[in-house]
Structure 1
Amino acid sequence: MTAVRFQVAVVSVAVALCTAMSSAALAQKKYDSGASETEIKIGNIMPYSGPASAYAAIGRTEEAYFNMINAEGGINGRKIKFISYDDGYSPPKTVEQARKLVESDEVLLIFGSLGTSTNGAIRKYMNEKKVPQLFVASGASKWNDPKQYPWTMGWQPSYASEARIYAKYIMKEKPDAKIGVLYQNDDFGKDYLKGLKDGLGAKASMIVLADSYETSEPAVDEHIVKLKAAGADVLVSITTPKFAAQAIKKAAEINWHPMHIISNVSASVGGVIEPAGLEISQGILSASYTKDGSDPQWNADDGMKKFYSFLAQYDPKANKLDAAVVFGYAAAQTLVKVLQMCGDDLTRENVMKQSAHLKDFEPDTLLPGIKINTAPDNFAPIEQLQMMRFKGKKWELFGEIISSEMGH
């Protein structure tokens, strides 16, 4: 009897020890390069100089946001170290900065780097190194390719998503439209045009002319004349800010008044509408997914109250009218959410895993009803927008939140 009791006791102790050891193993903290007990290193590449330096505000806002998070105690007790380099919007420079961040600074991930060609230049490298290239600041559709590039994920609605929403709107409001498209002859323009055609589906023949321009051209005036001559009564302007403003001016000059839709990247009041002229911009259409920091309708909004108090305390020099500031805040907030979800498993693999499991996340500066959702086979966090019309001195949102998913 005593021997049996002794054996049972030994077995119980052994079981207790095993249990203790396995729960200790479960509670073990896991780190890759760039993460530790006290710190999380995040890399970023921005055009602080060069032709796209207007977007530098995104990087500055993100830095200020992480400063606020650190002041509030960090993420699960760890402080963020944000290392942001300038690439002047030049792909060879982007490659150089990405190598520096991964190999010298040993960051955990690269977050929110700006530009289509610039991010395209480092995508293969990031995936070979298995370092997250997370929440790319570009609307190209190619960032949503988890099969081929499992370490790269976009953030904002893709250009194709946005174009499909315009297609839905045109078919509903003007079913017999004759559509003229002015598009930039690069990935940005072609992505949009494809989205527009996909959205129109069997009605793609509504496009009477799709005319491309090069960014090296001084002006798009002759293209606008050509599109009017083709008989178009809808103009879809897939242009960057300078050319969007020129198109608005030229259409007014030749007394052409089509239904005029401009892409979200050119919907800036300060950067496009004012230079073109407020009077001739009345009624222009676009779509948005973020709240407008200059619009008093958001003054009582809880999310925007947080945004304004953040600016007052951590980023007082920022221009709240600049859409890039609103964008940077929401993107940084999304990354913080992912890192919180990672808990004590700060491996690169877990960062990507958590990024692919965002469910109905609503950053403060996104429009009400627009939610971030991802899945292992869907690396497109935002797929909804709302139409808006320029009236007086500002954009007015109208209609429902539209999902760009086919068939919705």
Structure 2
Amino acid sequence: MKVDIQFPDSISDRIFLTWRPIKATARVIDAPAGQPSIAIRLEGKSNVGGGAIAFANRPTHASAPSIDLQLPSDGTPVDVWIGGAFPNASKAFGDVSVEARQIIGGQPAAPLLGRVPVMVRIRKNAEALTNAERDLFLSAMAALNGKGTGRFVDFRDMHDGDAYEQIHVNISFLPWHRAYLLDIERELQTIEDQIALPYWKFDEAAPKLFQRSFIGQSDQSATVQFAPTNPLRNWVGDLNRRGIWRGNAVGPTTVIDVRNEFDCMRISDGPGANFTEFSDWNYTPTFDPTGLESDPHNGAHGSHGAGWITNPTTSQLDPLFYLLHSNVDRLWAKWQWLPSGSGGARSDPAANISYFTGPPQANGHNRGDTLWPWDGVVRPGVATRPPTAPGGGMADSSMTRAPGLKPLVRSMIDYLGAHGGDHLGFAYDDVPFEL
């Protein structure tokens, strides 16, 4: 007898999980004759220091380390929900597995009837990465860059000067950059499927990140220096300049002068919490320089004193950009979660907290709109769209078919699928899934 465990919505044979549970099925193969059903226990088996998983019979954060199922002897599958057990993320694929054993006398019997290795793949603080995780990420970034000729060119062109007004200083600043990070993360995962984008927690010192073995150290001429074994040593962001241009004002022990995380969560707080205040946009429309885009986002960019990272039209040329914006996105994700879990009103696209309340428009700033450049819309009439749409549709994922080739703003808001939609396949190490 065997137990077959499947993840029907997965697009890959290798199974990746986040904190958000996903549906799996379990069924008996070659059951003994004469028994209408077989009692089976599913549980997680973790390596030392590996990820952990949890089980439930419905989508919920109230999961358990194991679950007992009565599986019909005729092989009819039974649904079960499996997710990562917060805060225990994986370090490598297969460091945690789903295992199935028959229950005899109230306890799981020794013979293993089924096993599926998985990975709880989570975006982590760059300071928490193992050397192996760091090196996989750097290798994938370097491969995507291809010494200036790789797929990275499209991501460079998505964030250039023509796109400035479309993606900054407006209400879609946060959802647009969430889609941008998701797209490049998925491209990186086609190169190395174990990685997730790390983040630079820029209100704290980052002694591991700002080393030649990781994101590099800048010399007096603002040229970033790398260890001989660092794949980023061959980085080409600007075809006219090999290497990375970044000022040396931030080093391993630097704590930059930006709003800290606690104060970020208080930008707009309480029952009247308002996304437009949190993000920076007050819909008059005038720019309100009090929210997240101004501080800490702008301050984190400018803290280096010089280089590509300080200019919004060139910052994407520096690999550090993606860790910086991963943290900006994490701060938004945490703000969404804080009131009453990730299922709260701040993560609901339909909630009345000024999440893009206008009707669909061509400029991609309301919750029903598609996002440029994935929708291919370029300067329709008087709309402020750039003249080109590099990159094509949103990259595929091994975990989910959401948000589709042409992502909507509202898909970016409910990224964990807590309000009836599909999850986007990412989560952060300190932001749980809760309903």
The TM-score, its normalising length taken from structure 2, stands at 0.27
Structure in which a larger fraction of residues adopt helix: 1
User: Larger C-alpha radius of gyration, 1 or 2?
Assistant: 1
